[in-house]
Structure 1
Amino acid sequence: MRPTEVDERWKEWATPKQAEAIDAVLKHGTARAAAKALGITQSNVSEKIKLARKKAARNGYAPEHDMTRPVPDGFITKGVSTYYDRDGKAAGQWVKSSIDQDRQRELLEQWVESVSADIPRLKPLPAPEVKLNDRLLNMHVITDYHFGMLAWHREGGANWDLAIAEQMLIKAFRHMIQTSPPAESCVIAQLGDFLHFDGLLPVTPASGHVLDADGRFPKIVDVAVRASRAIIDLALQKYKHVHLVWAEGNHDTAGSSKDRVWLAALYENEPRLTIDQSAKPYYVHQFGKTMLGFHHGHLAKPSQLPGIFAAEFAPIWGATEYRYAHCGHLHHKHELRDYPGMTVDQHRTLAAKDAYSSRHGYAAPRSADTITYHREYGQCWSATTSPEMVA
């Protein structure tokens, strides 16, 4: 590989290491000389440049094929049609592009981080003065809440819109914390799909399925933010320590990462609240001898979770005796599954059934769970909250 075979423009789409390999070949004349200068193998240099070249082509830049019109950042080339004149020269070209979901998510996260500095910080709330049990932790599970979904009682048995969803969440959460033991610590486990969809269009992010939506996306976000703050403040009023898990779901893949950033900025001055900022869709919290793992359930089956958590969080796995994983996604509950080393629990949703769920015969009851863990002995108490209990 020589400099004449390497295009410096490939660096626009290359990783830092790939760009380094391109510069080395351009400077030293051959892949072998570049490899020697970089202290790596020649095949490694060639592979890095090959990957950069492929990424440039995916973005619409491959001059050897008359593709010289790259698409903007956040998009990916879907197809290129070129027509030629009698002399075989390119006379015109159509470039089709589509959204690059991974890059769009990166750009969104970068934007959220950049504007989070302007979010006004809340003042800390006073800690509860009552005596609390420092050996207990209450975990309140909210999953698949689907803010922004629209449901009709004649299709799914119950109505669901933004107003109903906001009132239900606050009433249910208040009931959950009022009826649970006087623990000193709390985990709010929001297990994903808090929002029904992830952008201005009411479609699922991955497949583009059209969804029944109540209102415009900015309005949905406004209500969801207000409800989120309400349940966090309720928890801070009862518990001395609150840990928040805001999991990624398949309906709000980008929105969940945004929510974690703005919540951390908003409550930056609240020393009694911690927020899991993991960029991976697997989250963990340790309480004494107990390990609590969380995953929405869209990327791994229950049987896979023990292995994933053992590998991803080996130090916590090794330091605990009682291990529990919690997931949602399917909107119905399975009995506790005891796998080697970990028990997996799948949770129901409080949300009503939309037209899709109703037409496919999904008939699980609606509920949310509170589970109490002892610092030394693991799970010791649980309770269920249903819509009927807080109506």
Structure 2
Amino acid sequence: MTELSEAQLRRVAEARQQHGSERAAARALGMNRDTFRYQVKRAAEKGLLGFKPVLPGFELKRSSAQLDADGNVQKEWVKQHKEAGPKFEMPAGQVMKGVSAFVDGEGRIRHQWIKTRNDTITPDLVTALTNVFARYEGRARLVQAPRRVERNQLNVFPIADPHNGLLAWKPQTGADYDLKIGRERLLDKASDIMALAPRSREALIANLGDWYHANDQRNVTPKSKHQLDVDGRWFKVLEAGVEVFMRIIDMGLARHEVVEVINIPGNHDPEATCALALALKMFYARNKRVKIAFPADIYYRRFGVSLLGCAHGDKLPPPRMAMAMAVDQRRAWGETAYHWFLYGHIHKESANTIGDVRVESFSTIADKDHHAFAGGWRNAQALNVITLDKRAGEISRQRVNIPPPEMRAA
């Protein structure tokens, strides 16, 4: 914008003082209100509006006064500075690089500087995944549907925190673990639990988050920036995770007429989960027996007299799960008898009842990384299937255990 002359600024300042309001002064000068407001702020910066009260575009920084013996104000000092700008919003296509801070002697923040850079990871991730799986779109192998199923039953397969790509070294963590071991274990135990599941008409395969150990090739948790030990190149891990999930879906199709898949973003893999869901959706695009749900942070599903919800557990703590379900699903809540919320994140099994809602977490099947081992986190490892009936709610559970490292076959 062209620099304004002092004469122009004086004209604006005089009009504001004369008319008393920005609207009236702008109308008298034939200006639109935004232009007038901009010029008034520039006039205030040059001191053309005086110093009291607080000027347009400024805010009060400090005020002090000198009083006489009777408490009357003799002199007054007011320090103003330019007001803060608008709330910072991350520019499109940028990610946070770092934050610098200026602190006082007590360590309190006085100013902060936010550093950003171009986000090259997420666009490349989605583009690479789309290019690789585009040639497979709609070409999923047709698995023959089972002949006889229980039409009023739903099998729920929770898979919590498999952390595909996690790398662990036995001398440091008590057990070796890598992409190959994780892939074989997940497929082996998924096959076992599918074999134990009743032949229900519907299946719900619930990825409760952290399907991948790392979100991208930086190998850190996106929010906390904790360093992660990852096996192999990122795209190798990404592709292996998609291939394993497709194998599990095909297992489900062999025993169920309809398979629904949900992918909850975890704190380790928020963007990678979206890419996973995209790949699966493209691959099964023409298979009417497979439903790939949108990868939302919270998922709800009604089945007869049961209402269930799913979340990862990092954003929505268990005490709030029941309240979220009651508010988000008001009608379904009132029309159902059994309420159930599933989550992962804590890598162990737990169950609590909040009101009439069973809030339940599920264990990981992955071994411990260095961080978990050093922190003393220990838990049993298993896969489960829970069967719901449309009229009776939960009617059965089956479980496949993973033995501890010292009891596994060599």
Offset, 1:237: 1.3
Q: Aligned partners of 2:284, 2:232: CA distance in 1, in Å?
A: 28
The whole-number CA distance in structure 1 between the counterparts of 2:143 and 2:320 is 41
- Distance (Å, rounded) in 2 between the aligned partners of 1:137 and 1:172: 20
**Post-superposition shift, 1:111?**
5.4
Deviation at 1:153, TM superposition (A): 2.7
Aligned counterparts of 2:118 and 2:323: Cα–Cα separation in 1 = 31
For the 8 Å contact 2:381–2:403, the answer to whether it is kept is no
The corresponding residue for 1:37 is none
For the residues of structure 2 that align with 1:123 and 1:199, how far apart are their CA atoms?
Answer: 26
Matched, 1:379 2:397: no
Seen in structure 2, the aligned counterparts of structure 1 residues 123 and 144 have a Cα distance that, compared at 3 Å, is closer
Question: In the alignment, does 2:319 pair up with 1:310?
Answer: no
Structure 2 Cα separation of the partners of residues 331 and 248 of structure 1? 15
The structural deviation recorded for 1:383 is 1.8
Cα pair 1:285 1:292 within 8 Å, conserved:
yes
Contact 2:264 2:273 in 1 (8 A): yes
Aligned to 1:7: none
How many Å apart are 1:96 and its aligned residue? 7.5
Whole-Å Cα distance in 2 between the matches of residues 104 and 321 of structure 1?
A: 45
Q: Could you tell me how far 1:191 is from its partner in structure 2?
A: 0.4
Structure 1 residue matching 2:235: 3-state secondary structure: helix
Does structure 1 residue 324 correspond to structure 2 residue 340?
yes
| Equivalent position amino acid for 2:320 in 1 | Q
Q: Is residue 98 from structure 1 mapped to residue 116 from structure 2 by the alignment?
A: yes
**Matched residues in 1 for 2:212 and 2:176: separation?**
17
**Match of 1:196, SS?**
coil
Superposed displacement of residue 257, structure 1? 1.4
Q: Equivalent residue of 2:301, what SS?
A: strand
Deviation readout 1:290-319 (Å, 9 max, x if unpaired): 111100100121111011122223233233
One-letter code aligned to 2:340 = Y
Alignment correspondent of 1:339: 354
1:137/1:185 contact within 8 Å kept: yes
Matched, 1:73 2:93: yes
Matched, 1:357 2:389: no
- The yes-or-no answer on 1:290 pairing with 2:293 is no
Supply the distance in 1 between the matched residues of 2:237 and 2:126 (Cα, whole angstroms). 22
Which residue number in structure 2 is paired with residue 65 of structure 1? none
Q: In structure 2, what residue type is equivalent to 1:176?
A: I
Distance in 2, matches of 1:337 and 1:117, equals 43
Q: In the alignment, residue 29 of structure 1 is paired with which amino acid? A: N
Is 1:227 the counterpart of 2:244? The answer is: yes
**Cα distance between partner residues in 2 of 1:146 and 1:218:** 15
Q: Deviations over 1:76-121 (max 9, x none)?
A: 58679xxxxxxxxxxxxxx9733588x986x679858986866522
Aligned residues between the structures: 321
Q: CA deviation at 1:184?
A: 1.2
Residues 1:344 and 1:76: Cα distance change in structure 2 (over 3 Å)? closer
Q: 1:251 to 1:133 in 2, by over 3 A?
A: same
What is the alpha-carbon distance in structure 1 between the residues aligned to residue 157 and residue 256 of structure 2?
A: 12
Coordinate RMSD, CA, aligned? 3.4
Distance 1:381 1:99, change over 3 A: farther
Does structure 2 retain, via aligned residues, the 8 Å contact 1:322–1:377?
Answer: no
The secondary structure found in structure 1 opposite 2:152 is strand
Task: Check whether the contact 2:97–2:115 (CA below 8 A) recurs between aligned residues.
Answer: yes
Give the distance between the partners of 2:141 and 2:334, measured in 1 at CA: 35
Instruction: Give distance in 1, aligned partners of 2:196 and 2:167.
Output: 30
Q: TM-score, normalised by structure 2?
A: 0.70
Gap change, CA 1:359 and 1:78, over 3 Å in 2: closer
Partner of 1:121: 138
CA drift of 1:369 comes to 1.5
Matched, 1:54 2:86: yes
3-state SS in 1 of match to 2:379: coil
Q: Decide which of 130, 135, 146 is 2:147's aligned counterpart.
A: 130
Question: Does structure 1 retain, via aligned residues, the 8 Å contact 2:365–2:402?
Answer: yes
Helix, strand or coil: the match of 1:220? helix
More helix by percentage: 1
Distance 1:388 1:75 in 2: 42
CA distance 1:349–1:28, shift in 2 (3 Å): farther
The match for 2:207 is 190
Which of the two has greater strand per residue?
Answer: 2
The unaligned stretches of length 5 or more in structure 1 are 5-26, 35-45, 47-52, 60-70, 81-94
Shift of 1:243: 0.8
Larger Rg: 2
Could you tell me how far 1:260 is from its partner in structure 2? 1.5
Percent identical: 24
Could you say if the C-alpha distance between residues 32 and 382 of structure 1 is closer, same or farther in structure 2, counting changes exceeding 3 Å? farther
State the SS of the aligned residue for 1:205: coil
Counterpart check, 1:252 vs 2:269? yes
User: Matches of 2:130 and 2:36 in 1, distance apart?
Assistant: 41
Q: How far, CA to CA, are the matches of 2:33 and 2:135 in structure 1? A: 49
Is the Cα contact below 8 Å between 2:208 and 2:310 reproduced in 1? yes
Q: Do the aligned partners of residues 158 and 109 (structure 1) sit closer, same or farther apart at CA in structure 2, a change above 3 Å counting?
A: closer
> In the alignment, does 2:277 pair up with 1:274?
no
Q: Which amino acid aligns with 2:193?
A: M
User: Which residue identity lines up with residue 286 of structure 1 in the other structure?
Assistant: R
1:158 Cα deviation (Å)?
2.3
The answer as to 2:185 corresponding to 1:168 is yes
